Structure formats: C-alpha cells, structure tokens
Amino acid sequence: MLKLAAMVYIVVGSMVAGSFVVAALTLGRMDAVSISIAAALGALTALPIAWLIASRLNRSIRPA
C-alpha cells in the first residue's frame, strides 16, 4: 500500500503544490518565500489526499 501511495503522491503532490503556487501568484504574492510556502503547504496537503486515493485504489484492486 505504501508503494501505491508513493506513486499516487508523485502525481497528486505536483498537482496540488502547483495549484497552491498558482493561487499564491494570483493573489499577487510574487516573492520567493511566499511561493516556497505555498509549494510546501501544497505538498503537505497532498499527503492525505494521496493516501485516500491509494486506499480506494487498493480496495478496488484487491477486494476483501
């Protein structure tokens, strides 16, 4: 399950972190610190999302 979550995180993490960076830029936060914080928050937010998606995928691949 951890390997599946890691593979899902590669996709979800970049998507969510990129979305947070775009949101920061849209709000006019053009400095490097704000962009870095937005990317880090996006990467941290993506962890539970990737775990949830991986668990649902695991359940559908390997039914009880």
What is the count of structural domains for the chain? 1
In a domain, residue 51? The reply is yes
In a domain, residue 46? The reply is yes
Rounded to whole angstroms, how far apart are CA atoms 64 and 21?
39
Model confidence over 17-59: pLDDT tens digits?
999 999 999 999 999 999 999 999 999 999 999 999 999 999 9
The pLDDT-based confidence of 64 (bands split at 50, 70, 90) is: low
Question: At CA 20, angle to CA 53 and CA 8, rounded to 5?
Answer: 20
In a domain, residue 26? The reply is yes
CA-nearest of 4, 20, 8 to 50 is 8
In a domain, residue 23? The reply is yes
In a domain, residue 63? The reply is no
Domain with 47 in it: 2-58
Predicted confidence at residue 62, as pLDDT, reads: 85
In a domain, residue 64? The reply is no
Predicted confidence at residue 28, as pLDDT, reads: 95
The pLDDT-based confidence of 1 (bands split at 50, 70, 90) is: confident
Q: What pTM was computed for the model?
A: 0.87
Cβ contact 20:6 at 8 Å: no
